[in-house]
Amino acid sequence: MQVLDRAAAHEARGHRVVRLEVGEPDFNTCEPISAAGIEALRRGQTKYTSALGIAPLREAIAHQYEQRGVRIHPERVVVTAGASGGLLLLAAALLNPGDELLITDPGYPCNEVFAAAVGARARSVPVSPVNRFQPSGRDIAAAWGPAVRGALLASPANPTGTMVPANTLGEIAGVIDSRQGFLIMDEIYQGLTYAPVDYTTVLEIAPQAIVLQSFSKYFGMTGWRLGWVVVPEALIDGITRLAQNLFISPPTVAQHAAVAAFTPAAMAEHEARRAQFAQRRQRLLQGLEAHGLRVPVAPDGAFYLYVDVSSSGLDSETFCLRLLDEFHVSCAPGCDFGSNDAERYVRFSYTTDLESIELGIERIGRALERFRGES
């Protein structure tokens, strides 16, 4: 938040800030989705819906899993107010006061807040470049304690962009099963991957897992606040009651718009955007490495690079604040994502166009000259 506020202050003073801290696509929602949303408004589809979402959307979501060889009944698809709404529902359904939830450090910073909101606690599993910033089955087993009820992992993850390899995922699922725990896999960056992947959903490997998904990232719909979870049958009743009470229903216009997200025209647009992200990723990776910054693990997906800035001679928070104040490039310090080696890492997002990325790389080069010259 400090970085956001400072970046905005520099912009207000007329400086061009290269924004490499933003966690949402710079593209607007594509035309077929927006058109469907406008049409829904015109037709007056503005009332509450079923708490679990409209049938055509739940069916469309189930269908796109089926196209990937995973059969799930639409009843198991729960449409939510973003993945954030899904996280709140899952926390409320699965955790009691005093329970513990395993999460990774670094990881998505809000995860621990969802656990805390229902009186539970997050227990961190430190991850590092040695395991591509993802836990192994052994790490999960070692972190498990009497109060742990399950694990929440992400693949690809924020802030590192790395995926859990398929064989590791199988091991993790086995460890959790043997403890009668639950595995929630946050797949909100699925689709935004840049090399062949060995699975597209945890359900291919662990059919009993819970999937957290969103229309925010791959589908470019952050502001529409729409996501979904896929839950085992045994959870449907509890989740239904919670959804009715906590949300009444997910946003109606957004749901009608999102039905169009899976049409061939919209998917072609999403894939074209993915190709642009791939180009940007490549350029930023090259540019930072050419300046001697280490990217210990080339990410598989999302739109982030998790970069070791220790060669600058500064800790990551000072690096971010000075890069912003003196060179007008904003990025997110590792301490936003946990405490494990956080002073070494910075997250750069490539959610801006190539021209801005070039400018950012050039400014970062000048910044490093200055910082290294001082130490």
Ligand X SMILES: Cc1ncc(COP(=O)(O)O)c(C=O)c1O
In single-letter form, the type of residue at position 232 comes to P
When the beta carbons of 305 and 364 are compared against ligand X, the nearer one is 305
Of 246, 216, 241, 218, which is closest to residue 231 (Cα–Cα)? 241
Q: Using the rule CB under 6 A, give the single segment among 77-85, 197-205, 315-323, 352-360 that binds ligand X.
A: 77-85
Contact present, 305 and 280 (Cβ < 8 Å)? no
The distance from CA 356 to its chain's CA centroid, rounded to whole angstroms, is: 23
Asked if 188 touches ligand X (CB under 6 A), the answer is yes
Query: 53, 82, 150, 360: which one contacts ligand X (CB under 6 A)?
Result: 82
Minimal distance, residue 82 CB to ligand X, in Å: 3
Chosen residue from 70, 89, 95, 154 binding ligand X by CB under 6 A = 154
From candidates 29, 84, 136, 201, binder to ligand X by CB under 6 A: 84
Is position 287 an interface residue for ligand X (rule: CB under 6 A)? no
How open is the CA angle 293-299-304, to the nearest 5 degrees?
75
Residues 104-143 that bind ligand X (CB under 6 A): 108
Under 8 Å between Cβ of 182 and 94: yes
Query: Contact between 254 and ligand X (CB under 6 A)?
Result: no
Closest CA to 368 of 288, 295, 307: 288
Amino acid (1-letter code) at residue 118: V
Which of 217, 95, 118, 201 has its CA nearest to residue 158? Answer: 217
Q: Does the footprint of ligand X cover residue 227 (CB under 6 A)?
A: yes
Q: Taking a C-beta distance cutoff of 8 angstroms, is the pair 201, 173 a contact?
A: no
**Interaction between residue 222 and ligand X (CB under 6 A):** yes
Single out the residue of 104, 216, 330, 349 in contact with ligand X (rule: CB under 6 A): 216
Q: Among 6, 11, 22, 23, which residue sits at the site for ligand X (rule: CB under 6 A)?
A: 23
Please tell me whether residue 355 adopts helix, strand or coil conformation: helix
Residues that bind ligand X (CB under 6 A): 23, 82-84, 108, 154, 158, 186, 188, 214, 216, 222, 227
